[in-house]
Structure 1
Amino acid sequence: MHILLVEDDPQVLETVCDYLSLKGHEVDCAYNGRSAITLLEQARFDLIILDVMMPKLSGTETAKVVRQQLHLNTPIIFLTARDTLEDKLEGFAVGGDDYLTKPFALPELEVRIDAIQKRCNGTTQNTAIQLGSLRYYVDEEYAETQSERFSLPVTQHQILKLLLSASPNFVSKDALINSIWPDNVPDSDAFRSHLYNLRKTLKKNVANVEIITEVGRGYRIVESSA
């Protein structure tokens, strides 16, 4: 699994990271919630292990951003010394999938990771949208061609998903922006930047799929003749 470990205690972070790496997981680390959000905008993770009491952005605040702003369903395991019933209920209320109190045994963390992995594998429908040589897995949020899988930042994933779901119809610029940023609409330059980078990635990885623009109608993704 590709795991994002978010922990402000360097000793705990190093110990957990080393253990999970030895167990065969790919682990990226962040020391606070803001750094975690940046990483989540840049790459796809299978699991987030999230400390609660952190500077800059707490674990619960980070989880709210993950669920409400990034719209990710990535499983979250909270790690924390806060062990009251109220703390646990708050963790689940903001989108946590499991809650492990400190101090904890590393094998117990591994068992909980395995349980989440089995549950996700068992419940994922693996719905895919096919267009040309591009195959996009809706539930797992990744794209691949016949030869390889390629990664996209979170916002580009959302644009691609919306365009593929609507294809061959057009999606207006306003509809795309309002779907991706319902509460915090960016300026037009930010949207154009994400769209430009998505087009570059598709051109690099998928020979026969392109996003076209029509003034007054918006954008659509189509199979090209290339």
Structure 2
Amino acid sequence: MHVLIVEDNPDIIANLYGYLEPLGYTLDVARNGNAGVACATGFCHDAIVLDLSLPGMDGLEVCRTLRQEYRLATPILMLTARDTVHDKLTGFEVGADDYLVKPYSLPELDARLKALVRRSRNEHVHSVLIFGDLRLDAGTGQVTRGGQPLELTPTGYKILAALMRAAPTLMTRQAAEREVWGDSPPDSDALRTHIHTLRQVLDKPFPQPMLLTLPGTGYRLVVPGEA
């Protein structure tokens, strides 16, 4: 599981790394609100652990920005020392999915993160993803562009669904590999082959491409004419 931690307290960061990494988590850290927004929107994560009290942009504003400005659907677990009903309601109103009050139990944090990700992935199973004239119905598995059905390989389907969830932000090569192979990607350059195959179906029959490669970085979808 790939999790972004937005937290400025080095002791808490160290505790989270010490507990979660041995459980198989891959962790990124942002130490202030602005860095949290940049990291959350620049890379794909399964969940975000967001401290409420941050230097500069606080956690509420980070959450509000991610939900309202970037339409980011990544589950957000908010951490705070504030334990009033008003504070919790405010967190939920700006888009937090769950709430833990400090001091909290690390096993409970682990359990809540896993539950959030399970719910998020289950919602994706029944959702319809739309980006530009591209439509992916995760319930039926049907993908169309401009109303024209696209015949994707199972791996191409996984990659495209991840790209659509991230769109229009960048999906790194590492994130794309995790979507296909989990935490055990192959040593070969298999991803490039799958991207090539996906592009033949997604872009080749159409006047303008939607799948862009940022050399050495990753991939992202664009709406033709808006890139």
TM-score where L is the length of structure 1: 0.63
1:212 paired residue number: 207
Counterpart CA distance in 2 for 1:8 and 1:57 is 12
- Displacement, 1:129? 5.1
TM-superposed CA distance for 1:26, in Å, is 1.1
Partner of 2:157: 135
Hey, what's the Cα distance between the residues in 2 that align with 1:47 and 1:157? 17
Shift of 1:8: 0.7
Percent identity, aligned pairs only?
A: 33
Long gaps (5+) in structure 1: 144-150, 159-201, 221-226
Q: Is the 8 A contact 1:6 1:13 kept in 2?
A: no
Structure 2 distance, partners of 1:34, 1:114, is: 26
Separation in 2, partners of 1:92, 1:123: 18
Cα RMSD, aligned residues only = 3.3
* Counterparts of 1:67 and 1:152, CA distance in 2: 13
Ranges in structure 2 where 5+ consecutive residues have no aligned partner? 127-137, 144-149, 172-193, 210-222
Please give the alpha-carbon distance, in whole angstroms, between the structure 1 residues aligned to 2:208 and 2:119: 41
| Equivalent AA in structure 2 for residue 91 of structure 1 | G
Matched-pair contact (CA < 8 Å) for 2:41–2:169: no
Q: Which position in structure 2 is the counterpart of 1:81? A: 81
- Matched AA of 1:69: E
Residue 132 of structure 1: how far off its partner (Å):
4.8
- Give the 3-state SS of the residue equivalent to 1:212 in structure 2: coil
Please say if 1:155 is aligned against 2:168: yes
Distance 1:204 1:10 in 2: 42
Preserved CA contact (<8 Å) 1:41 1:154: no
Query: SS of the counterpart of 2:57?
Result: coil
Which amino acid counterpart does residue 212 of structure 1 have in structure 2?
P
Secondary structure of the 2:8 match is coil
CA contact (8 A) 2:43 2:170 kept: no
Question: CA distance change for structure 1 residues 104 and 88 in 2, over 3 Å: closer, same or farther?
Answer: same
Q: How do residues 48-87 of structure 1 correspond to structure 2 at under 5 angstroms?
A: 48-87=48-87
Count of aligned residue pairs for this structure pair: 167
Q: Structure 1 residues 9, 154: CA separation in 2 closer, same or farther (over 3 Å shift)?
A: farther
Asked whether the equivalents of residues 51 and 79 of structure 1 are also in contact (C-alpha less than 8 Å), the reply is: yes
Q: 1:212 to 1:7 in 2, by over 3 A?
A: same
Listed one character per residue, the Cα deviations across residues 92-113 of structure 1 (whole Å, up to 9, x for unaligned) are: 1111111101111111111211
CA contact (8 A) 2:42 2:169 kept: no
Aligned equivalents of 2:14 and 2:54: distance in 1? 16
TM-score by length of 2: 0.63
Tell whether the 8 Å contact from 2:49 to 2:79 is kept in structure 1 after alignment.
yes
Shift of 1:59: 0.5
Partner in structure 1 of residue 183 of structure 2: none
Using the alignment, how far apart are the partners of 2:118 and 2:199 within structure 1?
A: 35
Write the letter of the residue equivalent to 2:19.
Y
Q: Give the corresponding residue for 1:24.
A: 24
Is this contact kept in 2: 1:41–1:155, CA < 8 A?
Answer: no
Q: Is the 8 Å Cα contact of residues 32 and 54 (structure 2) preserved in structure 1?
A: yes
- What amino acid does structure 1 have at the position aligned with 2:90? E
